[in-house]
Amino acid sequence: KRMVGLHFDISERKQAQQALRQAKRELELALKAGEMGVASRTQSGKVLTWDARMDELFAVPDELRQGGVDLEFWRSRVHPDDQAMITKLSAEGLESGGPVQATFRVILPDGETRYIHGAMIGTDEPGEKHLIVVHRDVTPTITADRALSEAKSRAETAYRELQRHQEDLERVVAERTQELSLALLRAEKAD
């Protein structure tokens, strides 16, 4: 009896697999650190991936998490006034393959409005194009910017009011000084 065997050196393949696992882990950590959610969909609208952070951003109900999110659910959360813009940008991202970005509003079931910054890029996969989307909640930044803008506006209004009062006071002081000067002159003449 004879035995025939082949030996292959798979160390390169193992190293490549290890490098791929490491790169995937680093990407996951970067997305977590940036509090970003990732989704992908086909050109026809079939949602391929939707991660846990996206579930949080869009308040996906538990029963839908199990079955998977579709494009209609996503659209149902996007503010009606922002849907046309997002649809247009998504089409641009798919067609050009280049990155497109936008900030849009999401309305949650409890009425809360969130501001989401989305970055999209199209890929040219065999068979059908895909859109890769990264979303990040920028509500705190927008809220802070608005509060700062409102505070600035109030401060400018108060400053203008203060200037007006200062001008009024200066006018009253000037009038009073003139009256006192005239009274002093009359008093000196009367003496």
Return d(Cα 118, Cα 40) in angstroms, integer: 12
Nearest Cα neighbor of 120 from 86, 87, 91, 93 is 93
pLDDT in tens, 45-96: 777 788 888 888 998 888 777 777 888 888 889 999 999 998 888 888 887 7
Quote the pLDDT of residue 7.
66
Which range of 6-20, 75-89, 122-136 scores highest in mean pLDDT? It is: 75-89
Helix (H) or strand (E) holding 149: helix 139-190
As a whole-number percent, the residues of the chain with pLDDT over 70 amount to 98
pLDDT in tens, 24-52: 888 888 877 788 888 888 877 777 788 88
Estimate to the nearest angstrom the gap between the alpha carbon of 122 and the chain centroid: 20
Output the CA–CA distances (angstroms, integers) from residue 109 to 47, 81, 120, in the order listed.
Answer: 21, 17, 25
Estimate to the nearest angstrom the gap between the alpha carbon of 106 and the chain centroid: 11
